[in-house]
Structure 1
Amino acid sequence: MAQRILGKPNPNIRFRCSWKTVIYEVLKARQWSETDSELDWDFFWSDVSWLHEFFDHIHLADHQRINHFRNYYELTRKDLLIKNLKRMKKTLEKDSRSAEAAKYDFFPPTYALPAEYGLFVEQFKRNAGVWIMKPVGKAQGRGIFLFHKLGQISEWKKDHRWKVDNPQVESYIVQRYINNPYLVGGKKFDLRIYVLVMAYTPLKAYLYRSGFARFTNTRFSMKKEDILNNYVHLTNFAIQKTAPTYDSKNGTKWPLQSLKIHMITKHGEKAVNELFHNIQMIIIRSLIAVQNVIIQDKHCFELYGYDILVDESLKPWLLEVNASPSLAADTPSDYDLKFGMLDDLLSIVDMERRLPAQSSPKRVGGFDLLIDQGAADAKPSPAILGCHNDRVQQLKKLFGPLARAARHAAAPTHD
């Protein structure tokens, strides 16, 4: 059962929410007042479509908060993410910071299509292997496929009326497929990690300790007959839940802390801590890569869902960053994780003005301060990802007499 620390309810805070998922239940548990007003709200958990339609045409009051930055897509659209990472690497090289530039090696060779189709073909002819095609504007694994022959993509281009000079064509990225993923029980997985950015100028971000590994239902294989089998290669829950072998009771997710402990038993604490530290540095470097292009706005914050793949050499790879990570829950443990994470997020956004105004707390519930460029000590946090999440006890300690005892009435009960 999810828990939260209840301060004094404040029904004067008006919220609007585009989703009837866990975030809606957390907002209701805070006993804020719901409104469907277009602009008369204090806090708005918006979908991106509202942002595109209204944000450039409205003026927000000082106290209002919304859960997306104006051009969030510079980080979360697959082609723009890669463009920004490549640009950052080139900038560092130009500034004679080659050592730091070399650390931007956490994404595989990637090309934007159709614009870079010629460059991709040249690379493919030099080093074929297996590649993966991803549409830039879709989520949940839709439209993704693997291929190992140019003939396969040529046929696909004809079916999609796909021409370089066609401005209406759907944009894709094509990446070299990481064919040596770390396996548990013979199955592939990736990591879903939650990052809360409160500001880009200066950069201030929190990392949630808990996350989960998303597994495939089917054992991994690079045999040619298995290349097109999405149940083997794609970890997206929307795909895996349709597999014939899917277990709806247990799902396909494993807590991040459990995975970390499992890996420590096999590789030792030092190697696994280094892996998790490297994951945190990937997050920081990706945020730094976009901080000069994201439009800073004091009204905005954003929760990102980072997807990370680990290969058999314990090297982490950034797959993508999600602007609207799923906040639906498919199991009780999934619900509890998301409820606690979102409740802690609201504590950091602090509509109720309970945190000290003059400084940023190093930890709020399960969130740890990952980086704060505005602080005197702006060093990144140590490897806290996957550590024990004692969020309830930490919130009691943080809020002290302002907090009541943790209780279960805040969230619905799961049998």
Structure 2
Amino acid sequence: MALQQRSQSKHHLAPAHFPPPIPASTVRYRCYWKTIIYDVLQARNWTETESDLEWDFFWSDVSWMHDFFDHVHLAEHQRINHFRNYYELTRKDLLIKNLKRMKKTLERENKLLEASMYNFFPPTYALPAEYGLFVEEFKKNPGVWIMKPVGKAQGKGIFLFTKLSQISEWKKGRWKTDTPQVENYIVQKYIDNPYLVGGKKFDLRIYVLVVSYAPLKAYLYRSGFARFTNSRFTMKKEDIINNFVHLTNFSIQKHAPTYDSKNGTKWPLFNLKLHMITKHGEKVVHDLFRQIEELITRSLLSVQNVIIQDKHCFELYGYDILIDEALKPWLLEVNASPSLAADTTSDYTLKYGMLEDLLTVIDMEKRLTHNACLKQIGGFDLLIEQGKSDLKSKTSQPLLGCFNDRVEQLRKLFKGQACK
């Protein structure tokens, strides 16, 4: 796989750097992706290396994990940005499998209230394995469904349909029993009542950093963005196949005739939250964002026992979440390699700050060793730390989408002042 091109210089507007780079760093880094993460690592004043194993910090791609991770022995201090079987959360079919299993486990343990909270994903079936079950469900619950290949990203291969005959024709030649490598898909009931802003559909991109699965410890980044379609939403029959109406992926929307390259299709999460508070009031919106935080926590708990814990590993996930008109959040998917390229200056600034804070959390320079105040590090807020609190109190205000005071917080943190 070819390396991505480095971020465009017009977006290279790095925020103030905290903590300040150390004069003669001995931290060696290797970076597969030449995007914003590369810019952040360079600004960290670490030493770049192309060595296969002589590195302290490695931002790899997932193919390296498949090909090499099981065949190397890492030193105590080395850190890498994926868990061995990260795909248990990020492959669409395995994510649903793990969520369903967690729900059933809770039901067997008679934890019915908690089991009922696993209601944030629509009816979903893995194809071709569950094609028969899907057909039975479709006959009982017709309407619009959506097909997604499990191994692709950026909206590739996704389409909507309303008739079984459309699938019957489409699957011919794809799922023959004698085919050695069958492309797997999931099929889901399409959420046809999304919450709209300006008549347009959007979903949320939210960043989650997991530093350990055993015990589970994860941080949630305050800033994120809403990804909008260019076209107004409609469920008219003739528009079902129009991806500019139904799919929010930037890789699709940038080709729309009405795409504005100056402003892009993204809106800061902070702005969206303020808009919704103005329209619905603080309590309703805080309840919604609290549900989103709990949704993320429960998804992590669903894979905790299957992800292979390794002290060398951490993971930055990109969560895609849809809100419907009843203000209910739905988990669409989780990305193991969320895009770290930028299409606007504000996009660059958000991702640069987030990645800078991630490196501070990972703490290769051992600046946080004697500081126990870790509920907030830059723009990252502690989401869950098992042994202290599994789910946040329902009375606490959700920090997701709040003002990101990362620079001031880091300044205080590294002056030894207490966090609030």
TM-score where L is the length of structure 2: 0.93
Which residue of 1 is the match for residue 360 of structure 2? 347
Residue ranges of structure 1 left out of the alignment (5+ in a row): 403-415
Which residue of 1 is the match for residue 97 of structure 2? 83
Equivalent residues of 2:174, 2:183 under 8 A apart: no
Which residue of 2 is the match for residue 380 of structure 1? 392
**Structure 1 residue 212 corresponds to structure 2 residue 212:** no
**Structure 1 residue 55 corresponds to structure 2 residue 69:** yes
Equivalent residues of 2:297, 2:391 under 8 A apart: no
Equivalent residue in structure 2 for 1:291, among 291, 304, 313 = 304
Equivalent residue in structure 2 for 1:46, among 57, 60, 65 = 60
Which residue of 2 is the match for residue 241 of structure 1? 254
**Superposed CA offset, 1:72-105 (max 9, x none):** 0000000000000000000000000010000000
**Superposed CA offset, 1:285-343 (max 9, x none):** 00000000000000000000000000000000000000000000100000000000000
Equivalent residues of 1:192, 1:211 under 8 A apart: yes
**Structure 1 residue 263 corresponds to structure 2 residue 276:** yes
Which residue of 2 is the match for residue 411 of structure 1? none
**Structure 1 residue 323 corresponds to structure 2 residue 336:** yes
* Deviation (angstroms), 1:162: 2.0
Equivalent residues of 2:225, 2:267 under 8 A apart: yes
Equivalent residues of 2:35, 2:340 under 8 A apart: yes
Equivalent residues of 1:114, 1:163 under 8 A apart: no
* Deviation (angstroms), 1:243: 0.7
**Structure 1 residue 362 corresponds to structure 2 residue 375:** yes
Distance 2:110 2:23 in 1: 54
Equivalent residues of 2:22, 2:45 under 8 A apart: no
| Segment drifting more, 109-118 vs 166-175 | 166-175
Distance 1:161 1:365 in 2: 48
**Structure 1 residue 391 corresponds to structure 2 residue 406:** yes
The SS at the match of 2:223 is coil
Distance 1:198 1:17 in 2: 19
* Alignment-mate amino acid for residue 287 of structure 1: L
Which residue of 1 is the match for residue 9 of structure 2? none
* Deviation (angstroms), 1:169: 1.1
Distance 1:292 1:379 in 2: 17
| Segment drifting more, 355-364 vs 252-261 | 355-364
Equivalent residues of 1:65, 1:301 under 8 A apart: yes
**Structure 1 residue 31 corresponds to structure 2 residue 45:** yes
Equivalent residues of 1:74, 1:293 under 8 A apart: yes
Distance 1:243 1:177 in 2: 22
**Structure 1 residue 338 corresponds to structure 2 residue 351:** yes
* Alignment-mate amino acid for residue 187 of structure 1: K
Identity of aligned residues (%): 74
How many residue pairs match? The answer is 400
The SS at the match of 2:89 is helix
* Alignment-mate amino acid for residue 87 of structure 2: Y
The SS at the match of 1:400 is coil
Residue ranges of structure 2 left out of the alignment (5+ in a row): 1-12
**Superposed CA offset, 1:272-294 (max 9, x none):** 00000000000000000000000
**Superposed CA offset, 1:33-53 (max 9, x none):** 100000110000000001100
Which residue of 2 is the match for residue 413 of structure 1? none
**Structure 1 residue 11 corresponds to structure 2 residue 44:** no
Higher RCO structure, 1 or 2 (CA under 8 Å, sep 6+): 1
The SS at the match of 1:187 is coil
**Structure 1 residue 188 corresponds to structure 2 residue 215:** no
Equivalent residue in structure 1 for 2:81, among 57, 63, 67 = 67
Which residue of 2 is the match for residue 97 of structure 1? 111
* Deviation (angstroms), 1:154: 1.0
Equivalent residues of 1:10, 1:352 under 8 A apart: no
* Deviation (angstroms), 1:358: 7.1
* Alignment-mate amino acid for residue 295 of structure 1: I
